[in-house]
Amino acid sequence: MTADARRATDHALVVDTANGPVRGIDDGTVKSWKGIRYAAAPVGELRWRAPEAPARWTEPLDATRVGPVCPQPTDPKLPIDLGAPQGDDCLTLNVWAASDVDAGAGKPVMVCVHGGAYILGSSAQPLYHGRALASSGDVVIVTFNYRLGALGFLDLSSFGDQFATNVGIRDVLFALQWVRDNIAAFGGDPDRVTIFGESAGAGIVTTLLASPAAAGLFHAAIAQSSPATSVYDRTRAQRVAEQFLDVLDVRADEAHRLDAVPITAVTAAAQRVFDDVPSTTPGTLAFAPIIDGDLVPAHPVELAREGRTHRVPLIIGTNKHEASLFRWMKSPLMPITPKAIREMFSAIAAEQPGLQLPSEAQIREAYRGKTKIIGMRVARDIGFRMPSIWFAEGHCDVAPVYLYRFDFTTPMLRLLRLGAAHATELPYVWGNLVAGPKDPTFKLGGLKAGKAVSARIRTRWLNFAVDATPTGPQGDPAWPAYRKDDRATLVIDAQDRVVDDLDADVRTAWGDQVLSFR
């Protein structure tokens, strides 16, 4: 390449955003811009406030490396490669587009909300590298960081006006507004945005589907393993906040000084509260979206069942063996033992005395098998499967819904008794199948079949994003939409198949009453 050609290529990779120009890189197949600041660093008095625009810059900033990830606890039982060091200036995003996609190309956009139980993870994780998805040239990919744990999902609003509610949700909305205002310069169409996420990221997706503040910011949605009912009221959230203050030895009338508490102390306290809450109250999370009457006016699943969600097409589903990951990790996040399940049911009954819970006989009828297997299935369904079905049952009245279950696994994952565990679909969605030499997934084979599964699921997700528009086609992932007369469900496996009313027994056992903690 000549010097003039190189200069021309470099210039083409400089994109002027609303906050200032950024310079990316082109590897010959995909262009990328990483670590773009979409909001000011949430430090000092901004730590628990709504995000604010960053200071404008004039010279092109280097956008060839990901930015810092949100400060978070590190769990030796779950050694996640976060992809970058932790740091306060974490509100950044990354953009990928095929090399031949130029400004004004008007390509559909897919915006990912990463998972991690609302306390872990980052957009810099190698798993979320967007090259494979963007290389087709069909879409522009965006990933971003948002505040996690106590920084993003601790409700301190009862201690003073300087604390905003649902700070992590506000970050997500701010990132989506950045996409709306800037993505055309990267070749994307701001009127064809699909938001997609897994686990906590999917919980944010289903929450935003019921949030008035999200209207018009996305035009299709994909929720993979959404804990859609893990949204709590302010009374419960205040109890968690008081517990957090106790751990830090901070009185309620001293909450104003939380801005100055060292970040290491904040994340350590968050870890302790995160561990304690599900141990004392099985089935609940310490950090999650709360009903604040503003961003989240009511329980998202209940709003869906009332026909009050945004009228955008939705793919929603779960994995066949969701709970096995939590058993393998020895995590208290999901109640698996009979004792923990009974405690969870007792707590639900105490908080919602009018709710008709399934009897033990009904559960045993729906979940035939050994006691341990029943516990795993109950945990899977109350945590992920039934919330997704309840949401689908409501949302399908206002927009097309496509329900799936991911069943594919490999010989090694079967040997480890993980199967199609929580999050195991992610490598197939992203096309990043092998996470380094220590990844055991394909050690006993299955890579050829896995590549075929990945190709199919990526095609379905991409087709859905390409077809979904505000006024035209409603997204077509190439399987029948979910309707209450047949409840068509795609089973994703070595060979995909569509099954009518796949969840009939379980749905009958749980009924149509939404189980949630207030």
Q: How many CA atoms lie within 13 A of 434 on its CB side?
A: 10
322, 393, 395, 516: which is the annotated catalytic residue? 322
32, 122, 157, 199: which is the annotated catalytic residue? 199
Judge whether 393 counts as a catalytic residue: no
d(C-alpha 466, C-alpha 141), whole Å: 12
List the one residue out of 266, 166, 277 whose CA is nearest residue 214. 166
219, 299, 422, 425: which is the annotated catalytic residue? 422
d(C-alpha 473, C-alpha 476), whole Å: 8
d(C-alpha 291, C-alpha 233), whole Å: 5
Q: Cα 227 to chain center, whole Å?
A: 9
CA 450 to each of CA 222, 320, 496: distance values in angstroms, whole numbers, following the listed order: 21, 16, 12
Strand-pairing partners, residue 33, are 95
Q: Cα 321 to chain center, whole Å?
A: 18
Rg over CA atoms, the chain: 22
Judge whether 422 counts as a catalytic residue: yes
| Residues near 293 by beta carbon (within 8 Å), at least 6 away in sequence | none
Q: Which two tokens stand for residue 395?
A: 């949302």
d(C-alpha 177, C-alpha 218), whole Å: 10
Q: At what angle do helices 386-395 and 200-209 cross, to 10 degrees?
A: 20
Judge whether 199 counts as a catalytic residue: yes
Q: Which two tokens stand for residue 133?
A: 């998805």
What does 112-139 look like in DSSP terms, one character per residue?
EE--STTTS--TTSGGG--HHHHTTSS-
In the chain, what are the helix, strand and coil shares in percent, each to the nearest 5?
Answer: 40, 15, 45
d(C-alpha 433, C-alpha 457), whole Å: 13
d(C-alpha 425, C-alpha 431), whole Å: 10
d(C-alpha 204, C-alpha 214), whole Å: 11
d(C-alpha 259, C-alpha 42), whole Å: 10
CA 498 to each of CA 168, 226, 365: distance values in angstroms, whole numbers, following the listed order: 36, 21, 25
Specify whether the CB–CB gap between 199 and 225 falls below 8 A.
yes
User: Which residue numbers are catalytic?
Assistant: 199, 322, 422
